[in-house]
């Protein structure tokens, strides 16, 4: 963990298409209070929310106005800066809203919106260009797992996404086996560690050794308060990208509070 690796653990909540802007305000307020009550140390474990686009302005205003120590980001961005791209959102707009992060290449974008490795690479480059930190999602399907093992597809996806980024680029990698997302069937900590350990050298190779050591690699897929400790004991896993459980304030707070139960 952080003391050993220098990487600050990161717990990120991907809300997907849930919570409108009014619900988001109530949710973020309550999440911040819950973590404050639990004396959460945000310097020790960073916590971020990833609301839908329409919530971002409200979340930004609340976090800035109340000086809440939560980070926030968007769930996607366009690879283009501006122009005739109906429905798309530029990284420049997200930066103007003080987003720090943006999720790129989530498996739901790859599957439901046909995002290829090339598109994910272009979006990752657009994020970096606009001063956003891309949270680059990679992961194998159940079929990939059977045919190629766990690491081959995520490694290839990450290689494609990082190619073209400047050396030293600030990125977060999220290893999310597709079969584990929303299924209730998480990978084991050993599986997550094995893939994270295969991803880290790809970061070193393409972004430089320093970035390889500094880049946080998250595990995602059916993470809950009850299984986070196992993942956080894995030396190459630096946090979690949480979907369903990020919509439950008590559960998400308990996940962020993992140092309290990581030794148990
Ligand atoms: C996700 O969608 O990124 C995710 C990890 O979902 P869940 O936690 O619900 O499996």
Tokens 């797992």 belong to: 145
CA dist 178 and 204 (Å) reads: 25
Nearest to 9 by CA among 243, 222, 235, 176: 235
Q: What is the mean pLDDT of residues 212-231?
A: 98
Instruction: Out of 16, 181, 219, 231, give the residue to mutate to test ligand 1, the one with the largest number of ligand atoms within 8 Å of its CB.
Output: 181
Instruction: Out of 240, 244, 245, 246, give the residue to mutate to test ligand 1, the one with the largest number of ligand atoms within 8 Å of its CB.
Output: 244
Please report how many Cα atoms fall inside a 13 Å half-sphere around the Cα of residue 141, on the Cβ side: 7
CA dist 50 and 10 (Å) reads: 13
143 a catalytic residue: no
Measured between alpha carbons, how far apart are the two ends of the chain, in Å?
A: 15
Cβ atoms of 99 and 74 closer than 8 Å: yes
**What angle do helix axes 249-256 and 21-37 make, rounded to 10 degrees?**
50
40 a catalytic residue: no
Tokens 């081959």 belong to: 152
Element (H, E) at 191: helix 189-207
CATH fourth-level superfamily of 2-16+75-81+100-222+233-244: Aldolase class I (3.20.20.70)
Query: What percent of the residues of the chain are helix, what percent strand, and what percent coil, each to the nearest 5?
Result: 45, 15, 40
Q: Compute, in angstroms, the gap from residue 144 CA to the centroid of ligand 1.
A: 19
Delimit the domains of the chain by residue range: 2-16+75-81+100-222+233-244
Cβ atoms of 148 and 111 closer than 8 Å: no
Q: What is the mean pLDDT of residues 251-262?
A: 92
Checking if the pLDDT of 2 tops 50, the result is: no
Q: What's the token pair of residue 65?
A: 């106005």
Which protein residue's CA is at the shortest distance from atom 6 of ligand 1? 243
Tokens 């030396």 belong to: 235
Q: How confident is the model at residue 263 (pLDDT cuts 50, 70, 90)?
A: low
209-221: pLDDT as tens digits: 999 999 999 999 9
Residues having CB closer than 6 A to ligand 1 are 14, 176, 181-182, 220-223, 241-245
Q: What's the token pair of residue 31?
A: 């999440």
Checking if the pLDDT of 138 tops 80, the result is: yes
Task: Check residue 156 and give its pLDDT.
Answer: 98
Cβ atoms of 165 and 122 closer than 8 Å: no
Q: Compute, in angstroms, the gap from residue 84 CA to the centroid of ligand 1.
A: 32
CA dist 218 and 183 (Å) reads: 18
> Annotated catalytic residue: which of 40, 106, 115, 130?
106
Task: Check residue 261 and give its pLDDT.
Answer: 73
Q: Compute, in angstroms, the gap from residue 29 CA to the centroid of ligand 1.
A: 22
Q: How confident is the model at residue 262 (pLDDT cuts 50, 70, 90)?
A: low
Tokens 């809440």 belong to: 68
68-99: pLDDT as tens digits: 999 999 999 999 999 999 999 999 999 999 99
Q: What's the token pair of residue 260?
A: 């309290």
7-46: pLDDT as tens digits: 999 999 999 999 999 999 999 999 999 999 999 999 999 9
Average confidence score pLDDT of the chain: 96
Give backbone dihedrals phi and psi of 242, rounded to 5 degrees, phi first: -115, 125
| Cα dist from 29 to 123, 126, 225, 259, whole Å | 31, 31, 21, 23
Which protein residue's CA is at the shortest distance from atom 4 of ligand 1? 243
Q: What is the mean pLDDT of residues 160-187?
A: 97
Task: Check residue 159 and give its pLDDT.
Answer: 98
Which protein residue's CA is at the shortest distance from atom 8 of ligand 1? 243
Task: Please report the atom of ligand 1 found closest to the CA of residue 106.
Answer: 3
Task: Check residue 5 and give its pLDDT.
Answer: 82
């Amino acid at each position: 963990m952080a003391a050993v690796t220098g990487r600050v653990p990161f717990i990120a909540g991907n809300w997907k298409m849930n919570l409108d802007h009014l619900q988001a305000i109530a949710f973020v307020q309550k999440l911040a209070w819950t973590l404050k009550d639990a004396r959460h140390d945000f310097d020790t474990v960073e916590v971020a929310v990833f609301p839908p686009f329409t919530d971002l302005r409200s979340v930004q205003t609340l976090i800035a106005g109340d000086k809440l120590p939560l980070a926030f980001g968007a769930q996607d961005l366009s690879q283009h800066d501006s122009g005739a791209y109906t429905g798309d959102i530029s990284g420049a707009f997200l930066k103007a809203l003080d987003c720090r992060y943006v999720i790129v290449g989530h498996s739901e974008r790859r599957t439901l919106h046909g995002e290829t490795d090339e598109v994910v690479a272009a979006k990752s480059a657009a994020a970096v260009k606009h001063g956003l930190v891309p949270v680059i999602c990679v992961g194998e399907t159940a079929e990939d797992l059977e045919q190629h093992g766990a690491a081959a597809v995520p490694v290839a996806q990450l290689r494609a996404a990082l190619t073209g980024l400047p050396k030293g680029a600030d990125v977060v990698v999220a290893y999310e086996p597709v079969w584990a997302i929303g299924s209730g069937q998480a990978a084991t900590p050993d599986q997550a560690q094995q893939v994270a350990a295969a991803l880290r050298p790809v970061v070193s190779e393409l972004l430089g050794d320093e970035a390889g050591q500094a880049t946080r690699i998250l595990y995602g897929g059916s993470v809950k308060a009850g299984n986070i400790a196992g993942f956080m004991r894995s030396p190459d896993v630096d946090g979690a990208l949480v979907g369903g459980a990020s919509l439950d304030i008590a559960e998400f707070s308990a996940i962020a509070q993992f140092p309290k139960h990581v030794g148990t």
